[in-house]
Amino acid sequence: MKKLFLAVCFMTIVCCGLTKAQAQEINFNDSWKFFNAEADGAEQANFNDSKWRNLSLPHDWAIEGPFDYKHNARTGGLPVTGTGWYRKNFKMPQDAKGKVVRIEFEGAMYDAHVWVNGQLVGNRPFGYIGFEYDISKYLKYDGSNNTIAVRLRPQDLASRWYPGAGLYRSVWMKIDETVHVGHWGSYITTPTVTAEKAVVQNETTVVNKENKEVSVVVKHEYFSPAGKSVSTVDETITIAPNSSKVSALYSFILKPERWDTETPNLYKTVTTITQNGKIVDTYETKIGLRSIAFTKDGFFLNNKKVRFNGVCLHHDNGSLGSAVYKRADQRKLQMMKDMGTNAIRTSHNPPSTEFLETCDELGLLVLDESFDMWKMPKVENGYSMFFDEWAERDLKDMIRRDRNHPSIVMWSTGNEILEQGDKKNGWKVAKTLNDYCKEVDPSRPTTMGMNNYSNPYDNNFAQQVDIAGVNYKPSKYSEIRSNYPELPIYGSETSSITSSRGVYHLPIEKYEKHASKHVTSYDIIGPSWAYPPDIEFHFQEENPFVMGEFIWTGFDYLGEPTPYGGRDNSTNGHWNGDWPSHSSYFGAVDLAGFPKDRFFLYQSHWSTKPMIHLLPHWNWKGMEGKEIPVYCYTNVDEAELFVNGKSMGRKVKGKDLTEIKVNFIRYEPKTFQSKYRLSWNVPYEPGTIKVVGYKNGKAVNEEVIRTAGKPAKISLSVDRSKITADGQDLAYVTVKIQDKDGNLVPDADNLVNFSVNGVGTLVGVDNGNQISLESFIEPKRKAFSGMCLAILKSSKSSGKITLKATSKSLKSAEVTIETK
């Protein structure tokens, strides 16, 4: 939902001027000054910031580190607290005087105070929601400097995970005529969508800042995914002085190309506002034509039943922290799609606009979540401090901002809210928030993730949302249906199993913690509420009315290093007891974006394209002759294992079961016979293990693992050989330590040094190791389980970027990408 964008060479707007009756939206990310401490008087225009650091947004100061025991491992062991100042000088053209000038922050972490030319224009505590201010009256239009200053003061124990710190999302300046489309002023729904016809309803808020009544023409033109104009509609409305009015129109689009998870077709709406024969504003919105419906028997997209193969995702992107780069989200979400995922839960806060745009483009369904807590605190400086004053505004703003995204199918008012146990007042707060949602967008249902079974159902709490989200209670699905037969349910958080990529502990046993502070990748270890994915698969199949699941989590994230550190939902708690553990073990993908074995277990259950995966590695020096458990995850009919060419037998998926150890609350058995894993116990001998998959009796795929020799060389591979020269695009380079024959060395931890030449920079390094205290921004990184990662960012110049990787005693490597 953007104004038509005009590229402006910014530091100074005056160089371009303004076209008559043409709105501008200007990216305001460049040429900021930053200072990470208290600075008395920094809000004043004449403050001397000459010694401050120069930078461009997005910026997360905390990710720069360093890691330190004095920081809370619960929030990543990084400096997410303190005071940060941002300042920027700019000039306004004279012809902007008399227009409406607004500044929009897509996110500021957190407790943002904003000044323009020394005047306080506003404060916004919640770091996850965007906001804007009309700053017209504070500006100078005489060619002299204007100054905007922003102060942020994030607190310790304000979050249960890594929130980041700073102006971590984009900032925009908007220059409008006195009559224009309001902030998030477009609301488009599709009351009817069939194969023959779509009804598109468009409610647009038009603002009149003039001191007189005005008459304007509101026109909407709809364009197909191919760019063809397919419908036009308009009306004339009269708006009272200094007020706003909603224009409500509908259109028919014949033979619509519907949006769904397989073909995410996107239409474009161009709205123009014409006053006295001149176009005074143009507003563009992308939409998807689709219908959604929820019943007690499931979720339906375009009248087709769809199960949620969903993941929960926190907002950070590993070594980039919370700084928002669209390419980072594209990579993350495409990997989830490749795993078989079709749905995302934005746990536990509003996501970035770029994130939702990517979900629209990839065909991922979204559960858009607002809060992790209400009035009752989980951590002492959490959102409960702001709830009474800000909850209505923050929730409604989230929905106003996001409601045109076709990917969004549910609004969540909270996660594991402690008010579940409040028999007297909990349900009343839940109802109030539900009513706010319906007021802003009645087209989608409401939901909530509830873990305190059975209190929310007995306390009239779960009944205040349309769909009950059930956290970690798969064995209770049938009981909930029996007691509440009309209530739609789904697994809003499931499994919560933990692992470290490439790490295997023998024998396989159900332990609480391991001396290494890593977790075995045989995928059976988790906290008391957690259980292997196989358990959820089983109960979902037994209860087909359950609409699917959202696993905890798709990716590892910074902070909350369960099972190491502390106890969940406890106030006054620092999680440093198992330092240096400081990041999540929950993900199916590690912090660097490398798939763990569990990625392939979900892929085997959620996808149909034939796949096969084998674990563990085959480097077990000192274990010769001893049995090694070998697992296979596949979606084909049968699999046969070979060790050094000798068959270990063929196993049938669904018939040959694998016993796995379990131990979690509300489940009595201590073992589970899984039909979702194939396994063999084979004596170790160095060489080769190979698994061959069969479908309808024919071999269709295979995977081979070889015993690796000593580290000999570095291998580099890049996700894209060409990126955009916009100062924001990223290239991800995977680094592998290999033996002389090109085999990954699974226990290699060599230190790799990076150097960059050309028109780009190195913005992050990572390896997925949850206990590594290495810097995310220095040009070096140790390998973990044989791998690490380097992230390159483009500049605004076309050319080439070359990354060279070196390590003592290893053959070096380099890779070159092109920027255009």
CB 346 within 8 A of CB 355: yes
For 750: left if phi > 0, alpha if psi spans -120 to 50, otherwise beta; the answer is beta
| Residue 595 Cα distances to 339, 544, 601, 615, angstroms | 9, 29, 11, 13
**Closest Cα to residue 403, out of 358, 471, 356?**
356
For the four alpha carbons of 229, 235, 238 and 239, in that order, the dihedral sign comes to negative
For the CA atoms of 423, 424, 427, 431, what is the dihedral angle to 10 degrees? 180
- Active-site position among 104, 493, 560, 703: 493
Q: What's the start-to-end Cα distance of the chain, in Å? A: 26
Q: Any catalytic annotation for residue 25?
A: no
**Closest Cα to residue 3, out of 237, 182, 188, 205?**
182
What's the rounded Cα separation, in Å, for the pair 176 and 416? 42
What's the rounded Cα separation, in Å, for the pair 696 and 694? 7
- 403, amino acid identity: R
| Residue 500 Cα distances to 91, 339, 523, 535, 591, angstroms | 51, 18, 9, 20, 10
Q: Any catalytic annotation for residue 416?
A: yes
DSSP symbol at 4: P
* 3-state class (DSSP) for residue 776: coil
- Active-site position among 177, 416, 536, 703: 416
Q: Is 278 exposed, middle or buried (0-12, 13-18, 19+ CB in 10 A)?
A: exposed
Packing angle between helix 533-542 and helix 597-606, nearest 10 degrees? Answer: 10
What's the rounded Cα separation, in Å, for the pair 588 and 583? 14
CB 558 within 8 A of CB 316: yes
What SS3 string covers 613-669? EEECCCCCCCCCCCEEEEEEEECCCEEEEEECCEEEEEEECCCCCEEEECCCCCCCC
What's the rounded Cα separation, in Å, for the pair 352 and 354? 5
Query: Which positions ≥6 away from 803 have C-beta within 8 Å?
Result: 716, 733, 754, 755, 756, 762, 790, 792, 814, 815, 816
For the CA atoms of 487, 493, 494, 499, what is the dihedral angle to 10 degrees? 180
| Residue 139 Cα distances to 85, 92, 102, 182, angstroms | 20, 8, 11, 20
| Residue 141 Cα distances to 90, 99, 120, 144, 160, angstroms | 11, 11, 19, 7, 45
For the four alpha carbons of 121, 122, 127 and 128, in that order, the dihedral sign comes to negative
What's the rounded Cα separation, in Å, for the pair 234 and 240? 20
* 3-state class (DSSP) for residue 795: coil
CB 280 within 8 A of CB 302: no
Half-sphere exposure of 640 (CA within 13 A, CB side): 15
Q: Please state whether beta strands 214-223 and 267-275 pair in parallel, antiparallel, or not at all (unpaired).
A: antiparallel
- 172, amino acid identity: W
* 3-state class (DSSP) for residue 152: strand
The secondary structure element, H or E, covering residue 81 is none
What's the rounded Cα separation, in Å, for the pair 127 and 121? 17
The secondary structure element, H or E, covering residue 268 is strand 267-275
DSSP symbol at 431: H
Catalogue the active-site residues: 416, 493
